[in-house]
Amino acid sequence: MNILPSSLSLRLAAASLLLLTACAGAQSPAAKPEAKPDLRLKASAAPPGSATTPELWQRVLAANSDLRCDDNSQCHSLGVGSKACGGPEHYLAWSSKNSDGAELKARVQQHAEARRADDKRLGMMSTCSVVSDPGARCNAGQCVINERPAFGPGGRPDAR
């Protein structure tokens, strides 16, 4: 006997899938560290027949599954998500070795539009901080996002 409404059951199933995906990624050091999970699962209710925000995020990750590279020129960064006051939430590395990125960019755009719709529907707010593009590089044959420097006293990068 099913006592949960079907829409709640679907959301719980999507949340479980994302949680398992995130846990699997945490166990594997080769997982893409820049592939951050969609944090607005509760906000992802969508009209029947359309994809939810978490489903769109999974499509972004699927379109970005080949990160192989030979050199830095094949690695690029792409802003993903949407902050409530504008701009991307974070950046993904992607490789142009075997793709021109057109499908990835289209899926990123669909996901960002869904995030903006979620924000508007829920009246979301953000800090409006700017997330700058860190760029990407080829590291051990895989495109990765450049690390941001740690800043020490006086606003200067730490000498680590």
Evaluate whether 131 touches 89 at the Cβ level (below 8 Å).
yes
Q: What is the pLDDT of residues 73-120, one digit of tens each?
A: 999 999 999 988 889 999 999 999 999 999 999 999 999 999 999 989
Of 15, 23, 84, whose CA–CA distance to 53 is shortest? Answer: 15
| Structure confidence at residue 9 as a pLDDT band (50, 70, 90) | very low
Residues 6 or more apart in contact with residue 155 via CB below 8 angstroms: none
Of 97, 156, 86, 67, whose CA–CA distance to 124 is shortest? Answer: 86
pTM score, whole prediction: 0.62
Taking the C-alpha atoms of residue 114 and residue 108, their distance in angstroms, rounded to an integer, is 10
